[in-house]
Amino acid sequence: MDNQGGITVQRALELPGLRAGLPEVVAGADRLQRTVRWVHAGEVPNIASLLKGGELLLTTGLGLGARPAEQRAFVRQLADRGIAALVVELGPRFSRLPATLVDTARAAGLPLVQLHREVPFVSVTEEVHTEIVNHHYALLRRAEEVHRQCTQALLGGGGVPQVLRILSDFTGNPVFLETPDGQLLYAADTESAPADPLQVWEGLRGGRAARESGPPTGAVLVDVPGGGPGAGSVRARLVLLAVAGPLSPVHRMAAERAAAILAVVLMQARQEEELAARGRGDFLTDLAEGRISPEDAPAQARVLGFKPGDGPVLPVVMRLAPEQAPSGNWALLARVVGEELSSVGVPVLVGVRPVEGRVPVLVALRAEPERAATADKVAAALRAGAERAGLDRPGGHPPVVVVGVAGAWAATAAGLRHAVETATAAEGLTDRPWYDARRLDIDLLLWRLRDHPDLAAFVERAIGPLRAHDAASRPALLPTLETYLAHAGRKAETARELHLNRQTLYNRLARIGDLLGTDLDDPEAVLSLSLALRARRHTPRP
């Protein structure tokens, strides 16, 4: 039994009042962690009917009866009532407790204590009651500290995930937020947790049999109010599972205070949708960064509703422009992207990562040849969702969609990680409906070298004179060089795209060659210039 609202029998025996009576535990020594909710003193035979359970009963034995049958009935009634312990003061009634009492208490699992010295029961009662009140106050203070931390997190711009992580750190166990019908919204755990929280959920809470059989042993469930009209409406439910250690009364108190905070946060429109999308985004990020093994990934994905079948899994990442991501309406984005993707016709797992400004996605393919056609649909759905959420405004930087390499679950983590990095490296490229991650490996390599001083020095050596010219003179020549190289040196196509006549283009190309001191027909020079033009997106101006 936990010690909610009280202290243990062991603690009561250690207090000066009872310790002065030289207490001897003669039965139920293994039950001394029971809760003492209150102290009662009495000498009547039917005292069990006056008790509610959880009491520490003090007596001199006058009401125990003289016959063994009466003594057995007395002890059994107290055990059935659920008292914490029976304390008998030796004296005129008993010089030592009868074997009948001791044997019956042992059989009933009731702690039985005899006091070898007389003690004032009123002093014991006052002392234990004071200890219970102080203990309860200490629990309240610890729970209020969690409430304060959660409130500060929200005032500092945090959200539901931060509240759940604070609660998880406090309990030392995983914490889940689920819908009233038992669907997982978000999972949080401590950084030192031995297992991923989604694994815990699948094993202890996620299966159908587990849900139908009720909460796991030792779990704490707290309703988050506000799901609809009526005083008893429930919007969500907090679930604390005793995995790393037992849950105590203070953990329930902290969960109740956290639930009150969550009720306010979830009153905002569609917060549950954003929260579920963040949970999926956390899973996809953990998968990409190697914190989830390929063996565990399919089961955890099923918990989140993704069942791809036997075909390959296709990773896709949409990255929002940096100026849009911090202020993005992520609740609306999560909803409309989900609506748009529902028309793709294949299983899709979509998450959001507001901090990084990206939307990671896993798509189930029936076969590899479907990759391009499915990528077209998914990219169109993602960009349509961004536009509906107001994150793809005319004149602004459009979102970047990168499609990774399709493969089995064993390759999904690497493919997703590749797509995530490539989406960042693709920022600033000419807008396309989507980019194939396999065709941007040079850009990804240059992005990974972005902080290396040699890369900036290379860019400056290769195209520095053109940068200086364009900063001081017109027409700018860098766009001419970019277009020329993009068309593989075909002058007629370059002139048409730039709306120039042939001679004007020839003059500009000659000027570029003079400024750079190079021959634009030299393949080595062309390769160097192409790399420098790609790398300049990732390097600061000198």
Sheet holding 313-319, edge to edge: 348-350, 358-364, 313-319, 400-403, 435-436
CB 253 within 8 A of CB 150: no
Together in a domain, 333 and 400? yes
Please indicate, yes or no, if residue 310 is contained in any of the structural domains. yes
- Amino acid occupying residue 121: F
**Which of 267, 284, 309 marks a domain boundary?**
267
Q: Mean of the pLDDT values across residues 142-165?
A: 82
Together in a domain, 247 and 306? no
CB 65 within 8 A of CB 45: yes
Together in a domain, 422 and 462? no
Together in a domain, 440 and 370? yes
Please indicate, yes or no, if residue 409 is contained in any of the structural domains. yes
Instruction: Read off the pLDDT band of 206 (50, 70, 90).
Output: low
Q: What is the pLDDT of residue 161?
A: 85
Together in a domain, 431 and 460? no
Q: What is the pLDDT of residue 29?
A: 93
CATH classification of the domain holding 220: 3.30.450.40
Residue 1 has pLDDT above 50, yes or no: no
Helix (H) or strand (E) holding 71: helix 68-81
Q: What is the pLDDT of residue 108?
A: 93
Q: Who wins on pLDDT, 217 or 131?
A: 131
Please indicate, yes or no, if residue 99 is contained in any of the structural domains. yes
Together in a domain, 432 and 458? no
CB 313 within 8 A of CB 363: yes
Together in a domain, 410 and 291? yes
In 3D space, the residue among 353, 394, 349, 403 whose CA is nearest the CA of residue 375 turns out to be: 403
Q: What is the pLDDT of residue 325?
A: 57
Q: How far apart are the first and last CA of the chain?
A: 69
Please indicate, yes or no, if residue 150 is contained in any of the structural domains. no
Tens-digit pLDDT profile for residues 473-483: 888 899 999 89
Together in a domain, 243 and 307? no
Domain count within the chain:
4
CA atoms in the 13 A half-sphere facing the CB of 116: 6
Together in a domain, 35 and 73? yes
Together in a domain, 54 and 181? no
Together in a domain, 314 and 202? no
Tens-digit pLDDT profile for residues 301-342: 888 888 888 889 999 999 987 766 545 577 778 888 888 888
Please indicate, yes or no, if residue 395 is contained in any of the structural domains. yes
CATH classification of the domain holding 471: 1.10.10.2840
* Beta strands at 435-436 and 400-403: parallel, antiparallel or unpaired: parallel
Please indicate, yes or no, if residue 306 is contained in any of the structural domains. yes
Residue 469 neighbours by CB under 8 Å, 6+ apart: 476, 477, 515
Together in a domain, 241 and 227? yes
Instruction: Read off the pLDDT band of 269 (50, 70, 90).
Output: very low
- Residue 88 domain boundaries: 7-119
**Which of 267, 284, 307 marks a domain boundary?**
267
**Dist. CA 322–CA 303, nearest whole Å:** 31
CB 432 within 8 A of CB 398: no
**Dist. CA 332–CA 386, nearest whole Å:** 9
Q: What is the pLDDT of residue 348?
A: 92
**Which of 232, 267, 302 marks a domain boundary?**
267
Please indicate, yes or no, if residue 489 is contained in any of the structural domains. yes
CB 116 within 8 A of CB 24: yes
CB 147 within 8 A of CB 254: yes
CB 112 within 8 A of CB 1: no
Lowest mean pLDDT across 44-48, 62-66, 79-83, 266-270: 266-270
CATH classification of the domain holding 376: 3.30.70
CB 413 within 8 A of CB 287: yes
